[in-house]
Chain A
Amino acid sequence: MPNITFNDSTGKSQTIDAEIGSTVMETAIRNNIPGIDAECGGACACATCHVYVDDAWIAKLPKPEQMEEDMLDFAYDVRPGSRLSCQIKVTADLDGLVVSTPEKQG
């Protein structure tokens, strides 16, 4: 199973076995990763699953769809690596992915 590392805003880090086919948001929620609210349950309707993808990984992920870009407008402190974690599907290629959770989800 691919490994995903979550860094939180206080500097704590956890590495988790993620299930292929689930999303990064689901992986986080199932493992009680702090800093992800995911109020809408992954429907790309709330922007409270905002994460920063590590620089080295930005280009390796499939580009966000229009819907995700639109929803990101509602996230706070959007940076180049900003993504909505419910829109990132876990695949074998994502083994080693590193993301950081923001200080706040707005």
Chain B
Amino acid sequence: MSEVIKTDAVIVGAGPVGLFAVFELGLLDIKCHLIDILGKPGGQCAELYPEKPIYDIPGFPMVTGQGLVDNLMQQIEPFGPQFHFNEMVESVEPIGTPEAPLFRITTDAGQVFEAKVLIIAAGGGSFQPKKPPIAGIDDYEGKSIHYAVRKMEAMRGKRILIVGGGDSALDWTLNLQPVAERIILVHRRDDFRAAPHSVNGMRDLVAAGKMDLMIGQVMGLKGADGVLTHAVVRGADNVTHDVAADVMMPFFGLTMKLGPIAQWGIHLNENLIPVGTETFETNVPGIFAVGDINTYPGKLKLILSGFHEVALAAQKAHRYVYPDKKLTFQYTTSSTNLQKKLGVA
């Protein structure tokens, strides 16, 4: 197991609000590690609407979701945030006191952190693969139905049914084709949103007889004890076929699920974390909740609200990280001290 990482602050979620938290905490000399289950920064902006324009970021008449994330990444660079992607924060255990909080934070990859403050910027929760609502799917998950494959070798010699038409579906099709006994790609239309080069790669394999493409939808599953034997596919002609398969991998995009946050000992109100509007601290001293995940009277789920929240939360966080230091209010325009931290003075 990897060593325990000791740091000032751990931020759960690298969405726009988690990213800007790095900036506000950084100005106060608080060092951050960010953890996100996604493989990239930006949360909803990067995952759900990278190309769409946002019109209500102060100072930007228009910026795209990805554009905003790129700018935030540039803005926080001087503070050297450490990112841990593709990991979900699973547990949070208080090991300090209310006056001097300390938390042991563990991810699903087994990485352990010790931090003086915990900033929950988890938005709508962890991004997780959407599960197709096929009757009985639960029984097969983990055994015959996978949303990702960690060890390609485990797929050797299997008949794999891949469902979907986006990049994930096509990438897995191309990656698994050499090891699988047979790949059957099922998509509802003969048109793919995935990158053209992977679509072409797939079409070449089909033309060479090295895999199958079926236009249709998976309506049901056949097998026993979690071991799949057939998927019931309804073709474009509305006729259903039993397609023999050992493994099915459905790719229907991602959805946000609260995930393990409910077990961290903080109060929740309908999957949101209630906070006060002075410090955005939760009922547990040292744990803050900012952005879409929190709730308070008048809360608006806007990026700009999240930005405001992290500025105030950082002030209180400073007291825990530097109990003996007094904070003086400074502007980035005029304070050489702040400008040094930003690497511009």
A77–B166 contact, CB under 8 A?
no
A13: min CB distance to chain B, Å: 23
Of the candidates A69, A70, A74, A78, which one forms a contact with B130 in the assembled complex, judged by CB atoms under 8 Å apart?
A74
CB of B207 closer than 8 Å to a CB of A? no
CA distance A70 to B219 in the complex (A): 20
Q: Could you say which residues of chain B place their CB within 8 Å of the CB of A103?
A: 133
Of the candidates B52, B131, B133, B187, which one forms a contact with A73 in the assembled complex, judged by CB atoms under 8 Å apart?
B187
Of the candidates B189, B193, B252, which one forms a contact with A106 in the assembled complex, judged by CB atoms under 8 Å apart?
B252
B132–A73 contact, CB under 8 A?
no
Of the candidates B52, B132, B253, which one forms a contact with A43 in the assembled complex, judged by CB atoms under 8 Å apart?
B52
**Count class of interface residues, chain A:** 10 to 19
CA distance A73 to B191 in the complex (A): 10
Q: Could you say which residues of chain B place their CB within 8 Å of the CB of A40?
A: 48-49
A73–B193 contact, CB under 8 A?
yes
CA distance A39 to B219 in the complex (A): 24
CB of A33 closer than 8 Å to a CB of B? no
From 237 to 255 in chain B, residues with beta carbon under 8 angstroms from any chain A beta carbon are: 252-253, 255
From 46 to 89 in chain A, residues with beta carbon under 8 angstroms from any chain B beta carbon are: 46-47, 69-70, 72-74, 76-78
B151: min CB distance to chain A, Å: 27
A78–B188 contact, CB under 8 A?
yes
A76: min CB distance to chain B, Å: 5
Q: Which positions in A face B, CB cutoff 8 Å? A: 39-40, 43, 45-47, 69-70, 72-74, 76-78, 103-104, 106
Q: Which positions in B face A, CB cutoff 8 Å? A: 48-49, 52, 130-133, 164-166, 187-189, 191, 193, 217, 219, 252-253, 255
* 12 examples of A-B residue contacts, CB within 8 angstroms: A40-B49, A43-B52, A45-B48, A45-B52, A46-B48, A46-B255, A69-B191, A72-B188, A76-B132, A78-B217, A106-B132, A106-B255
